[in-house]
Amino acid sequence: MAVTMDNAIRFMFILSVVCGAAYAKKSEAKVASAPGPAAAANAVFDITELGAVADGKTDSTKAVQDAWDAACGLAGSQKVVIPKGEFMTGPLNFSGPCKGYVTVQIDGTMFGSNDIPKYNKGNWIEILHVDNVLVNGSGTLDGQGAAVWKDECKILPNTLVLDYVKNGTVSGLKLVNAKFFHINVYMSKGVTIKNVTITAVANSPNTDGVHIGDSSEISVSDSTIATGDDCISVGPGSSRISIQGITCGPGQGISVGCLGRFKDEKDVTDVTVRDCVLRNTSNGVRIKSYEDVLSPITASRLTFENIRMDGVANPVIVDQKYCPEKECTEKKGSKTVTIKNVTFRNITGTSNTPEAVSLLCSDQLPCSGMELLDVNLKYDGKDNKTMAVCTNAKGVSKGSLQALACL
């Protein structure tokens, strides 16, 4: 029978519908919604449907990277899912800008490869130039750092890095045994880190729990951190930082600094640390800086309040002669770090060093506007008494243990 023009057009239309339906059904195995305009509003990318193998050994880097690239490229709300199971990956580059909102839900355990050259001096999981991102779940990021900590001369990758991120949240995860820092926040704004658990052995090197630098409006709350370095460190260029509800220890405490190590560092302002518990740490709440620096820098409007110390060494310390590697025998420069308007309020508990308060400020530019308010710490040893050491610090003491009222 001859085929008319109308019949041909009708046949081609039916064929396109059938093929389109078959394609959509096939795509559902990998993505909850096909990546067309109508489906872009809510897609789910499960890495196991993109080739990831949950045996903890097979390299699943490509599957995870493909999931991110697909999610980031769509408008609407997208989700990358790392399901229960164990997955090994190398470096992951979660770069933006993205067209929509991306959630990375981690419910399984991810292991960071110990093939260090793969990282090319970079990081393990780096979120870069992304607005509106959520990283959550009940899973674990295991950096497997113990295998490489002895390699002190190598540049080791941080576990989770947020660079140039606006409006980001990290919630619910466990991070263990990072090769370097567990979480590093840099040049970001409006980032919330909450309900995370960070763990590394007490003698692990440079395993800061959370480090913040050159960032603003950052909140770290309701988390438990036990590492070989600072539980939380706030570096130069940070402002409007809130740290609340942290249980810290072991580790080196909660620190502002180190300040003045490099040229052209920016000021640190408006940092609040409150409602925290520190246990068996080598420092409590601390401000640390080099004494002679190449560029002037100021740390001001810093508040530490409602903090309980339990067997902590140096519970309250300002150290302007910080020199971690004994490299300060010669002056770095002629400038100084200004420390002013610092409040320590309602700091209680026990110290395992006689010096419960140490304000060791620069003789070139003394600390000013210092406040010791209701600071009541007691040395828990028997070979000495509780004391405070205050050098070149100006301010007031009120309501504090008499032995600590050194201002």
* pLDDT digits 0-9 by tens, 374-399: 999 999 999 899 999 999 999 999 99
Mean pLDDT, range 28-43, rounded to an integer: 50
Q: What pLDDT, on a 0 to 100 scale, did the predictor assign at position 154?
A: 86
- C-alpha to C-alpha distance for 225 and 273, rounded to whole angstroms: 15
* Residue in 286, 280, 229, 276 with CA at minimum distance from that of residue 252: 229
Q: What pLDDT, on a 0 to 100 scale, did the predictor assign at position 67?
A: 98
Residues facing 163 on adjacent strands: 128, 186
From residue 170, how far is each of 27, 47, 105, 332, 375 by CA, in Å?
Answer: 30, 20, 10, 37, 33
- C-alpha to C-alpha distance for 393 and 8, rounded to whole angstroms: 91
pLDDT above 80 (res 326):
no
- Report whether 297 contacts 339 (CB < 8 A): no
Mean pLDDT, all residues of the chain: 90
Mean pLDDT, range 315-337, rounded to an integer: 78
Q: What pLDDT, on a 0 to 100 scale, did the predictor assign at position 33?
A: 39
- C-alpha to C-alpha distance for 327 and 346, rounded to whole angstroms: 35
42-46 contacts at long range (C-beta below 8 A, 24 or more positions apart): 42/76, 42/77, 42/78, 43/70, 43/71, 43/74, 43/76, 43/78, 43/79, 44/78, 44/79, 44/81, 45/70, 45/71, 45/78, 45/79, 45/80, 45/81, 46/81, 46/83
Torsion of CA 45, 118, 202, 227, to 10 degrees: -40
Q: What pLDDT, on a 0 to 100 scale, did the predictor assign at position 249?
A: 98
Mean pLDDT, range 51-65, rounded to an integer: 98
pLDDT bin (cut points 50, 70, 90) of residue 146 is very high
Q: What pLDDT, on a 0 to 100 scale, did the predictor assign at position 36?
A: 44
Q: What pLDDT, on a 0 to 100 scale, did the predictor assign at position 150?
A: 92
* pLDDT digits 0-9 by tens, 265-321: 999 999 999 999 999 999 999 999 988 888 999 999 999 999 999 999 999 999 998
Q: Which residue has the higher pLDDT, 344 or 39?
A: 344
pLDDT bin (cut points 50, 70, 90) of residue 1 is very low
- In order of start, what are the domains of the chain with their CATH numbers? 40-172 (2.160.20.10)
- Report whether 250 contacts 278 (CB < 8 A): no
* pLDDT digits 0-9 by tens, 157-182: 999 999 999 999 999 999 999 999 99
pLDDT above 60 (res 76):
yes
